[in-house]
Structure 1
């Protein structure tokens, strides 16, 4: 029935699966008789101009006749075949001993980006970005969060590392209010 409707509409499998946001393999399984989940069934009915309630009733009567009262469970290999393939990117850890501004510059160079491109992505002017890379300016926590997100770093690890370095580098004791502000900005 689904295949007939697709052919009558003059569409190929790739076109319909794209419209529905499905992989072509999954759509082919539906054409072969797989009962789609309810939200997808509604999309199919809307796409082909079918009455949802009638189609739902037809599926229930066929499913009861063929499978009993429920669909057979999928095997592990079938479930795994339906899952989208996700590649986990290799995100290098922040190397110890590298200052924040050096780490930011290294990341930009490794990303093969220029200063103007990075400042545009961060929505700041290029001079300010250059000051951050040179170490003349320290990014505020909001900017550090943007930079961390952009490079895929753990913001809290970077923030805590910077706080620890600032506390370790203090040659004189900080006033209590500055220390409290430093510790509470997260």
Structure 2
């Protein structure tokens, strides 16, 4: 990675940690600003940098740094009831940035980045719901009712705002990374 990519990844990791600390508890799954920050990354960063930032964020949390919601950290956070959402961020970023790369270049950066963010969120929802079902001994309907349904509208708003911010950052930086 180039120095500029490392710096951008570092800033992204810091934003992910800060956004996780802004927490509003709603049942077992807190509302954070992570979704908004994650939506910034596909527009503002190239694929490798975005995925690296999310991976390093997860590693920092896994080794115990308090970067997850509620100043949490440690393997227990990744293995706990809401941990599937966290590791779903990485799988979602990989899939989302792949989707953005495969979409036609004639689509706007916003459209490609929003598609990436929606893909990321759906994968995170799926991973988080699956882990919650296993750990919480819940059926699909109960897990979705607790882990997904209350968050759809707030997350849709955060995706739109984050994607818009990411596009502004990309324009200010003078690059359009969605095709990389």
- Give the TM-score taking structure 1 as reference length: 0.24
The answer to which structure, 1 or 2, has the higher relative contact order (CA under 8 A, 6+ apart) is 2
- Give the TM-score taking structure 2 as reference length: 0.25
Larger Rg: 1
| Higher share in helix | 2
